[in-house]
Amino acid sequence: MYHAPSDLNEALEIARDFGGTVVAGGTDVFPSAKQGHLPDNILDVTGVAGLKDIEHSSDGSRIGAAVTWSQIAKSALPPAFDALKQAALEVGSVQIQNAGTIAGNLCNASPAADGVPSLLALNAAVEVASLARGVRLIPLSEFVLGVRRTALQSDELVTAITIPPVPPHMGSAFEKLGSRSYLVISITMTAAMVSCDDQGRLTEARIAVGACSPVAQRLPELEARLVGQRLTDIRIAPSDLAALSPIDDVRGSKDYRLDVVAKQCERAIKRAAQNG
């Protein structure tokens, strides 16, 4: 059965009574289905009114769950969102960016999901809705629980990603390393969001790293150490990244990944400072 509701209440009723698969762009769901065994029961959320809207004001931002990466890349958002826009352009290819959605990336809960570090830096929360419990807001850091595990209940849908107001003059940047430059899974990725005073010293730093632990994470100790430093003096070493636990695999050793992240942090901070 294929359900394609246009109204959120109808979608939530289907989700409550449903035993199937929620699908947005399908770019994670369909490739992971065993050949010839597509889900019998599909709830397609892409037609639900309001889920494809991006709203931004001084009170904060709201990105609908079914907003695609292409929409984000083209959106008129302030420089604090540049890291997210750069990440959007790294998700697969243009075809994947046209279909793949922000909520699909978060719900798939891959350690290498390109959208997560920038959203962690933005202090994003995931808005979820169900008929039983209404709307709840879950900080992104508490939404992705582990590899392929989220806090979403079976009767819930993600309706939006919300972002609190961003301090003025904060810029951001995203760095991704893959085994080639295009259409590739991340070996490491880093998002930085910073502000500087007129002496070039950092007044705020938010750093998040993906693909180096089961769940992408902020690095609060490093962030605290960076505040007050001049941009020109910033040096980051693997010893600053003790919170990370990258794997050793064919795409890179643990030590290699930590070396790369240290360089990505330095580069992303400098790039972020330039666009703030």
Ligand X SMILES: Cc1cc2nc3c(=O)[nH]c(=O)nc-3n(C[C@H](O)[C@H](O)[C@H](O)COP(=O)(O)OP(=O)(O)OC[C@H]3O[C@@H](n4cnc5c(N)ncnc54)[C@H](O)[C@@H]3O)c2cc1C
The residue ranges that bind ligand X (CB under 6 A) are 21-29, 31, 45, 65, 90-92, 96, 99-101, 103-105, 107-108, 113-114, 152, 157-158, 185
The number of angstroms, rounded, from the C-alpha of 160 to the middle of its chain's C-alpha atoms is: 13
Q: Which is nearer to ligand X, 113 or 226 (CB)?
A: 113
SS3 percent helix, strand, coil of the chain, rounded to 5, is 30, 25, 40
The one-character DSSP state at 73 is H
Instruction: Output the CA torsion sign for 248, 251, 255, 257.
Output: negative
| Smallest separation, CB 226 to ligand X (Å) | 26
Q: Which is nearer to ligand X, 28 or 266 (CB)?
A: 28
C-alpha torsion 92→34→105→185, nearest 10: -40
Q: Which is nearer to ligand X, 31 or 198 (CB)?
A: 31
What's the count of helices (H) and strands (E) in the chain, helices before strands?
A: 10, 14
Say if CB 155 and CB 130 are below 8 A apart: yes
| Smallest separation, CB 172 to ligand X (Å) | 17
| Smallest separation, CB 32 to ligand X (Å) | 8
Q: Which is nearer to ligand X, 67 or 241 (CB)?
A: 67
| Smallest separation, CB 97 to ligand X (Å) | 8
| Smallest separation, CB 154 to ligand X (Å) | 10
Q: Which is nearer to ligand X, 91 or 125 (CB)?
A: 91
> Which tokens is 42 given?
């599909």
Q: Which is nearer to ligand X, 107 or 205 (CB)?
A: 107
Residue nearest ligand X by beta-carbon distance: 104
Per-position DSSP letters for 97-155, written without gaps between them: HHH-BHHHHHHHT-TT-TTHHHHHHTT-EEEEEETTTEEEEEEHHHHEEETTEES--TT
Q: Which is nearer to ligand X, 7 or 255 (CB)?
A: 7
| Smallest separation, CB 115 to ligand X (Å) | 6
For residue 246, CA distances in Å to 14, 199, 217 come to 39, 35, 12
| Smallest separation, CB 99 to ligand X (Å) | 6
